[in-house]
Amino acid sequence: MTSPTANTTSPSTPADGAPAAQEPARYVHAEAEPRWQRFWEETGVFRAVRHEGRPKRYVLDMFPYPSGAGLHVGHPEGYTATDIYCRYSRMKGFDVLHPMGWDAFGLPAEQYAIQTGTHPAETTRKNIDTFRRQLKMLGFSYDWEREFGTIDDNYVRWTQWIFVKLFERGLAYQDKVLVNWCPALGTVLANEEVIDGKSERGGHPVVRTPLRQWMLRITAYADRLAEDLSLVDWPEGTVSMQRNWVGRSEGATISFDVQGFEGAKIDVFTTRPDTLLGCTYVVLAPEHALVEKITSAEKLPAVRAYMQAAASKSDLDRTSEKTKTGVPTGAMVIHPLTGQAVPIWVGDYVIGSYGTGAVMAVPGHDERDFAFAKTFELPVIEVVSPDGKLHDSLDAAYVDEGILVRSGKFDGLKSTDGKRAIVDELVALGKGAPKITYKLRDWVFSRQRYWGEPIPVYFPVDMKDPAGDPRKGDEHVIRYDKPIAVPENELPLRLPNLVDFRPGEDPQGPLARAVDWRFFQKDGQWYARETNTMPQWAGSCWYYLRFADPKNDAEPWSQKAYDDWMPVDLYIGGAEHGVLHLLYARFWHKVLFDIGKVRHPEPFLKLVHQGIILGEDGEKMSKARGNVVNPDDIVKGYGADCLRLYEMFMGPLEAVKPWQSAQIQGVVRFRDRIFSILTGRPLVDAIDDATKRLVHKTIKKVTEDIESLSFNTAISAMMVLLNHLGSLKELPREAAKGLLLCVSPFAPHVAEEVWRLWGNERSIALEAWPTFDPTLCVDDVIEMAVQVNGKVRGRVTLPVKASEDEARNAALTAEGVSAFTTGKTLKKFIYVPGKIVNLVVA
């Protein structure tokens, strides 16, 4: 390093093309930050390149959806954290892949297109431009050469290719599924979008109707999706959510014969076969296939009315309603062990698409069944007792395991043994079997929308008139039972350029209106393309793999690119993606593992969720509340480095924190003092021992804190060192350099500016991370508490290697201690260097 005064007068650009630094009188962020951002981009400082023999780190942000609103200050929190970690990792000698792209299909862009008549591709590209500008404005060290969007043809091509692989393995199939269909909106709605039987948007009636859908057989991977969570370093809460969503349950299927209907039976699944003798009724879902067949003529009108009412409710409404409703069918089943007749009810809290669509009700040992039985005055029988004693009445359901009672030959067995014995009996009778089930259901993959990847499948069309043309409306039948995958050499299958994006009343979706695109002829045979599109999840299921090889036209990624960068070493994003995105991405990855395209069973080794940054009112930022803070305004007023520093200094990365604009001034002063102190004083070679020790302690602290993503405490440590240097008239060169290198990942623009003013020609981002001497990080003296009979009575400062005699003499003379030792006999002295000083007196 040279003195900063040696190279500050010329505004010309140095020979290596780096921007000229300005006079050190004052740091002007509006001039310096754009200049350094241009330099980084033009010189490719952050281009991801693998070097033989060097370790790698693949650090990924969760794929952002580029909304029209642009970023607010909550968004850059996670991006800043990954950027600090990446800049630090490069300085530590790692090859780093740190990419950025866009999750660009989805409903918001389509809704905007419908409202304005603007093509969603146009609005999406405009939104991407805004997001890109804002991210570059913050100085993030992305390799922008790897940027892509899920709407890019060459990305859609390989998303469709993966779908074809799923199709070829029998993991993509068609089924008729009960969905929430809104005729007025012309679309299928998610359960969360239906409130009291009406659409959340517009309040239109919603009906439950079976609709042909493409499904992905994620249930085939249920065990692996649960078991492989042991291979990753994820937040425990997210791991639990993943396991609970899969919902693996061990139990038994039990068959109940329907009385009076030969061959008709109702199968149920239970995790508590030990309670079977307490079953006093059976409940069917309104959509169960047997309901109308077995219901008595007397009960049929009420049952049909109940079924119609249930069809207007979402699954979420039905399962979350506190008061359970139901109607009797008048039919009975035969209990498989006792032979007694048990009534059959219909209840909408039982969902037809979940499990068998039927449950055996044991009100003595299930809270929901207990409430239902009390409402309709049905019998409640205790068959599991906590202590083996009989109780004549129950004030509430006993839901824990215990000892079987009122269960005939199974009485006295513990629940664990009772489960096994009862299942064995059912197997012997041909009335049941052990079974493992999952809450996880196959993934409904179809969307009756326009703005999504076309599903690469087509179907033969049978024409009534062989010379007819389906595009003209001639009578025809589409053979949905004979799907054909689009050949790989014909991918990508692109969307037609529609003018009207409205879903319409046709449940096949808006693509059904694009007849010239939908129907085509080959070798004299007419075919019809699939008109459903993929959900937004599809593009984000595998984007991390494409970042390894984004320009590859021959394959989705090469094996070399995969081996160079995968798996993802650190993945940071919002906890709201703790279930579905992660589950779907892991599912696709495991399929790709099975076909030999990836080598690791899990894609994301370490996962961290950044906390939410609330508005200044303590509420979540939203336009509706008017509490959104635009990062453009913060950068304009204070600079990108200050936004980065403030968001990292607010508190732990994972914590929820309120934005407080007034507090930014603290980091503004810190940044400005970095510049003024490090450029305004001469650099000298000499360094005193206290300063040297503080420098090495700071480097150690910042290094460890970055590795653990504890950025707020790292900044605090740098502030302490800066304050110390500010008290010196001359700056020890070692101290100034050590501090600036530590600062550079956090506030890269001001660090580059100071670095250039010191006369260095290449970017500080290319410098090695500073090292520390562990022996200089240990204090020579230490303050310890002095205990008398186990209670702290004073404090002493001792050399780290103080002898027992030195410690005893210091303790006996310490302020506040003599009052508790005078006139007493020292019975014992306990001394553990650096930990305990205890005088035992009597």
Is residue 653 left, alpha or beta, with left meaning phi > 0 and alpha meaning psi from -120 to 50? alpha
Model pLDDT for residues 787-839, shown as the tens digit of each residue = 999 999 999 988 888 899 999 999 999 988 988 999 899 999 999 988 899 99
Query: For residue 732, is pLDDT > 70?
Result: yes
Give the residue-averaged pLDDT of 622-649: 92
Query: For residue 178, is pLDDT > 90?
Result: no
248-438: which CATH architecture?
Alpha-Beta Complex (3.90)
Query: For residue 322, is pLDDT > 80?
Result: no
pTM (2 decimals)?
Answer: 0.84
- CB count within 10 Å of CB 716 equals 14
Q: Cα-flanking dihedrals φ and ψ of residue 638, to 5°?
A: -130, -20
Looking at residue 260, what is its pLDDT?
A: 94
Minimum mean pLDDT range among 328-342, 414-428, 710-724, 796-810: 796-810
Model pLDDT for residues 448-502, shown as the tens digit of each residue = 889 999 999 999 999 999 999 999 999 999 999 999 999 999 999 999 998 888 7
Closest CA to 574 of 604, 610, 621: 610
8 Å CB contact between 549 and 558: yes
Instruction: Calculate what percentage of the chain has a pLDDT beyond 70.
Output: 96
Query: For residue 17, is pLDDT > 80?
Result: no
Can you tell me the distance from the alpha carbon of 185 to that of 199, in angstroms, rounded to the nearest whole number? 9
Alpha helices in 746-786 (DSSP H): 748-757
In what order do the strands lie in the sheet containing 207-216? 187-189, 172-182, 207-216, 443-444
Tokens of 40: 């980084």
Query: For residue 4, is pLDDT > 60?
Result: no
Task: Enumerate the known binding-site residues.
Answer: 623
Mean pLDDT of the chain: 92
Can you tell me the distance from the alpha carbon of 73 to that of 137, in angstroms, rounded to the nearest whole number? 13
Model pLDDT for residues 276-301, shown as the tens digit of each residue = 999 999 999 999 999 999 999 999 99
The domain segmentation of the chain, as residue ranges, is 44-160+537-610, 173-215, 248-438, 655-776, 779-841
Q: Label the pairing between strands 836-841 and 781-788.
A: parallel
Confidence of residue 719 (pLDDT cuts 50, 70, 90): very high
Task: Enumerate the known binding-site residues for ATP.
Answer: 623
Give the residue-averaged pLDDT of 673-684: 95
Buried b / exposed e across 627-664, counting CB within 10 Å, b at 16+?
bbbebbebbeebbbbbbbbbbbbbeebeeebbbeeeeb
CATH of range 779-841; options 3.90.180.10, 3.40.50.11890, 3.20.20.110, 3.10.20.590: 3.10.20.590
- CB count within 10 Å of CB 292 equals 12
CATH of range 44-160+537-610; options 3.40.1190.10, 3.40.50.620, 3.20.20.10, 3.90.660.20: 3.40.50.620
Distances (CA, A) of 19 to 4, 22, 635, 814: 16, 9, 20, 60
Tokens of 690: 């206290």
Can you tell me the distance from the alpha carbon of 54 to that of 208, in angstroms, rounded to the nearest whole number? 57
8 Å CB contact between 159 and 664: no
Instruction: Identify whether 567 is preceded by a cis peptide bond (ω within 30 of 0).
Output: yes
Does domain 655-776 fall into CATH 1.20.1260.10? no
**DSSP assignment string, 480-534:** TTS-EEPPGGG---PPP--S-----S-TT-GGGG-HHHHEEEETTEEEEE---B-
The shares of helix, strand and coil residues in the chain, as percent rounded to the nearest 5, are 40, 20, 40
More confident residue, 57 or 349: 57
Looking at residue 5, what is its pLDDT?
A: 30
8 Å CB contact between 700 and 717: no
The 3-state DSSP class for residue 625 equals coil
Written in H, E and C, the secondary structure of 243-291 is HHHHCEEEEEEEEEEECCCCCCEEEEEECCHHHHHHCCEEEECCCCCCH
Instruction: Identify whether 492 is preceded by a cis peptide bond (ω within 30 of 0).
Output: yes
Q: Label the pairing between strands 248-258 and 265-270.
A: antiparallel
Helix (H), strand (E) at residue 607 = strand 607-609
Query: For residue 13, is pLDDT > 50?
Result: no
Helix (H), strand (E) at residue 241 = helix 236-246
